[in-house]
Amino acid sequence: MTEQSAGSGGQDKPTIAIDGPAGSGKSTLSRALGQKLGIGRLDTGAMYRSVAWAVLDQGVDPSDVDAVADVARRIDISMGDLVTVDGTDVTEAIRQDPVNHAVSLVAANPGVRQVLVERQREWVVRHGGGVVEGRDICSVVLPDADLKIYLTASEEERARRRSDEGASSVARRDRLDSSRTVSPLAVAEGARVVDTTDRSVDELVEEIVTWL
Ligand code: DC
């Protein structure tokens, strides 16, 4: 993976791991925390989405376990303000229906997870810390993070936040992401559970920085 935009260098920045289902507020909160603390942020969901995009783009069957893992190994994913795969800007394409539909299957592939987890850990080392958000960050990617947070929100609120995708698609992804064999979404040991339903971002950031 090539360079992310924010916060390179230094070794004394905090490492914050954030997990939660779709629409729980991970992206908004991690972006705000990264800004507040002056550290980088990595959206690992966008990395799984990038692999799903490449799989579809190359006409690979998303259920072909070996071929999909091979795609993950071969592609270069660049995570910055724009997300690119082998130089192609996929920032918008990875949020569209074809990727929404295929991504949970791609993310359940152990070979894909192995490749991406390694790249995510490399990103943290390269940036000397940062805010990393996803589904298995507290449990698998960064179990020794300075702070581990599991975000939740009411089902109605999560559906409202992801209204562009549609409630049934979001519910389907959450079901698949929580029931898969490899690294299912779950509250990790030592993670603080935070309900974001009726909380403002500023209020949450102020509270969370006191936990560091
Ligand atoms: O955060 P998101 O909705 O953009 O994530 C897209 C998909 O990627 C999601 O359905 C589950 C998967 N994912 C994962 O399995 N592990 C992660 N660390 C991040 C995302």
Whole-angstrom distance, CA of residue 145 vs CA of residue 149: 10
Which of 204, 38, 205 lies closest to 129 in space, CA to CA?
Answer: 38
Q: What is the pLDDT of residues 163-199, one digit of tens each?
A: 999 889 999 999 999 999 999 999 999 999 999 999 9
- Answer whether 37 contacts ligand 1 (Cβ < 6 A): no
Contacts with 206 (C-beta within 8 Å, 6 or more apart), sequence order: none
In-domain check, residue 10? no
DSSP letters for 103-131: HHHHHT-HHHHHHHHHHHHHHHHHHTSEE
Q: What is the mean pLDDT of residues 120-127?
A: 97
DSSP strand pairing (77-79 vs 83-85): antiparallel
Placement of tokens 């800007």 in the chain: 89
Place of tokens 């152990």: 110
State residue 36's pLDDT score: 97
**Dist. CA 144–CA 142, nearest whole Å:** 5
* DSSP assignment of 50-67: HHHHHHHHTT--TT-HHH
Domain membership flag for residue 4:
no
44 lines ligand 1 (CB under 6 A): yes
Q: Is residue 2 part of a domain?
A: no
The Cα 42–Cα 27 span in angstroms is: 9
How many CA atoms are closer than 13 Å to the CA of 120, on its beta-carbon side?
Answer: 30
The finding on whether 104 has its CB within 6 A of some atom of ligand 1 is yes
Could you tell me if the CB of 45 is within 6 A of ligand 1?
Answer: yes
CATH number for 30: 3.40.50.300
Q: How far is the CA of 137 from the centre of ligand 1 (A)?
A: 11
Q: Which residues contact 98 (CB under 8 A, 6 or more apart)?
A: 56
In this structure, is residue 81 part of a structural domain? Answer: yes
CA 76 to chain centre: 17
What pTM was computed for the model? 0.94
Q: How far is the CA of 185 from the centre of ligand 1 (A)?
A: 9
> Hey, which of 177, 178, 181, 185 would you mutate to test ligand 1's pocket, going by the most ligand atoms within 8 Å of its Cβ?
177
Task: Give pLDDT tens digits for 55-114.
Answer: 999 999 999 999 999 999 999 999 999 999 999 999 999 999 999 999 999 999 999 999
* Count of the separate structural domains present in the chain: 1
9 lies in some domain? no
Domain holding 81, by residue range, is: 15-209
- Residue 192 lies inside a defined structural domain of this protein: yes
Q: How confident is the model at residue 12 (pLDDT cuts 50, 70, 90)?
A: confident
21 lines ligand 1 (CB under 6 A): no
| Residue nearest atom 2 in ligand 1 by C-alpha distance | 45
* Residue 76 placed within a domain: yes
In a domain, 195, yes or no: yes
- 154 CA → ligand 1 middle, Å: 19
Q: For 87, how many CA atoms within 13 A lie in the half-sphere containing its CB? A: 0
Residue 91 CA to ligand 1 centre (angstroms): 15
Bridge partners of 86, per DSSP, are: none
> 22: CA distance to ligand 1 center in Å?
8
Query: Which residue from 55, 135, 164 has its CB within 8 A of the most atoms of ligand 1, so it is best to mutate?
Result: 135
Task: Give buried/exposed letters for 164-173 (b at 16+ CB in 10 A, else e).
Answer: ebeeeebbeb
Ligand 1 within 6 A of CB of 22: yes
